[in-house]
Each structure stands twice: as structure tokens, then as C-alpha cells.
Structure 1
Amino acid sequence: MRAQHGEQPFQHRFRVYYEDTDAGGIVYYVNYLKFMERARTERLRDLGFAQSQLADENLLFVVHSAEARYHAPARLDDELLVSAEVEELNRASLRFRQQVRRATDSTLLCEGRFLVACVRADNLKPRAIPEVLRAAFAGSPDILSAGE
């Protein structure tokens, strides 16, 4: 499934805390990956699925690959908007496109793409995304049509 362009992706709001910054007072680069992970988790929660519930059903989502591009720094006390847009929904994986923007001026700070695999919790082997979850993602505004 491909993403529909022009739709507003899911966004989660974060505040930059002292612990997120480096000695220069800017957000340490790896913390953007944490912010994007949290936004993906909140995206699932927004669709009605908690990570703990999925683990109880022998399902985990694991990052297969990640790509990040940094544009401008975030600083202590900045409020951030982190998007989590599903670009592609396949049988056993999701591809997310994500952006981190400063809330006050919408400046793009970081963007990333993540391939997230669906695996069995007991043995970490790939498994199909359950139909109820596929339907929730397919009904989201950022998914357009089927095509694997």
C-alpha cells in the first residue's frame, strides 16, 4: 500500500529536556531516533493498539532498517512535532516516513524512513501483520490503496 500525499500525517508532541541535549546544548543526534520511535508507538496507540497488548498476542514490531537526515538543531525546551506516516504496508512490514519539526515555526529538524518488521515475540521470526491491524492502518488517512 502506498501513502496518500497531501493528507496530514499523525503527529505526536514532545518537549526537549536537558537529558536530550549534548554538551553544546542541542539535541544529541541519536535522540531523534528515540523521538521517532515514540511517535510510531503513539501512532499504534492512536489506532487502538498498545505495544503491551501486541506482545501478549505474540507480536512485536522491530526496526529492520533506518535512515535519518538532519537539517537543523533542536534545543533545550523546544516543543517538537514528530510525525509517523505509513508510506507502505506490506504483508509483514511497514515503511514509515517521519519528520521532526519545531512546533513554534514548523522548521524541519530531522527526517527519517524506517522499515519496521512484524515478528513473533517468542522466536523473532517474521509473521504476517494481523488483519485487524492491517485494516486499522489501511483505514488511516495516509494509506491510499493496496499493492505489494
Structure 2
Amino acid sequence: MFSIPIRVYWEDTDAGGVVYHARYVAFLERARSDALRAMGRGQQALQEAGLVFAVHSMRLDFLRPARLDDLLEVTAEVARVGRASVVFSQRILRGGELLLAAEVKVASLRAVDFRPCPIEDSLYQELKSLQDGPDA
């Protein structure tokens, strides 16, 4: 499982100092992008190889609020890999307390025309191996 720390700033909160719901989506995106980058498959490298991942669907379970100045841990773990999609299981925690659980499905698209395409074989195998257990 891959994780990154994220500090909550004013720009992330509503007037009450609670993280605005849409900001969680940005936090999740950062963790997925950084997980791919840690594999040597950053967004730029993927695009140069002719591939982009686009969010197809997501399910978010908001369990507890994050607040101004909280230090969060945002995780990304490969849950399932298809020939043209990847499902990530993601969590946002504060001091080990689960605040949000998410499942995000991304589709594999050709960078030139954004049409669906299979995930290149070496990347597919690498993602499959993460699905089967090892930490990223």
C-alpha cells in the first residue's frame, strides 16, 4: 500500500474549518498519481507512452470530518486490475483514525484521442502483482 501525508490548509476548508467534500477527491488523486510515479509511471511518462488514466467512477464513504491543520495520511492500493481499467482502494486517515474510505475505478485511454485501450503489458503485470499483495 502506498501513502502520502497531506496537511489541511484554509483553502481546503469551508467557513467552519471542516474540509470541503470536493477537496477529498483532490487528495485521493494526489495519492494515486504519486503511487504511479513511485512505480516510475508518472503521468508525464504514461502520456509519453500514449496512455492516460481517467476516472470512470468513484464511491466515497465520508465517516468523520477532517479539519483545518490536520495532518492526514492518504493511501492508494490496487484492488483489481482489468485489461483496460484499474480499481484503487483508498483511505484517508488522521492519526490512524479512518475518516474516508473510497473505491476509484480508472479507465485506460489512448492519449491521442481518449478512446479506451488495453493497459500496456508490462504495466498491467506490475499492477497485477500489486493487486496480489506486495506493498508499493
Match of 2:132 in 1: 144
In 1: Cα distance, 2:91 partner to 2:67 partner: 16
Q: Determine what percentage of the aligned residue pairs are the same residue.
A: 41
Per-residue deviation, 1:111: 1.0
Q: Secondary structure in 2 aligned to 1:139?
A: helix
State how far apart, in whole Å, the 1-side matches of 2:37 and 2:44 are: 10
Aligned alpha-carbon RMSD (Å): 1.2
**1:113 corresponds to which residue?**
103
In structure 2, the partner of 1:37 is 29
Shift of 1:119: 0.2
Which stretches in structure 2 are left out of the alignment for 5+ residues? none
Partner of 1:99: 91
Q: C-alpha separation between the residues in 2 aligned to 1:51 and 1:93?
A: 16
Match of 2:43 in 1: 51
Identify the structure with the greater helix proportion. Answer: 2
Write out the 4+ residue segments of structure 1 that deviate beyond 3 Å after TM superposition.
none
Q: CA deviation at 1:135?
A: 2.3
Letter in 1 for 2:63: H
- Describe how 1:65-104 pairs up with structure 2 within 5 A: 65-102=57-94
Question: Could you list the per-position Cα deviations for residues 78-110 of structure 1 after superposition, in whole angstroms to 9, with x for gaps in the alignment?
Answer: 1111111111001000011110001xx311111
- The count of aligned residue pairs is 133
CA distance in 2, matches of 1:108, 1:40: 18
TM-score between the two structures when normalised by the length of structure 2 = 0.93
Gaps of 5+ in 1: 1-8
Which deviates the most, 81-90 or 129-138? 129-138
Task: Tell me what 1:3 maps to.
Answer: none
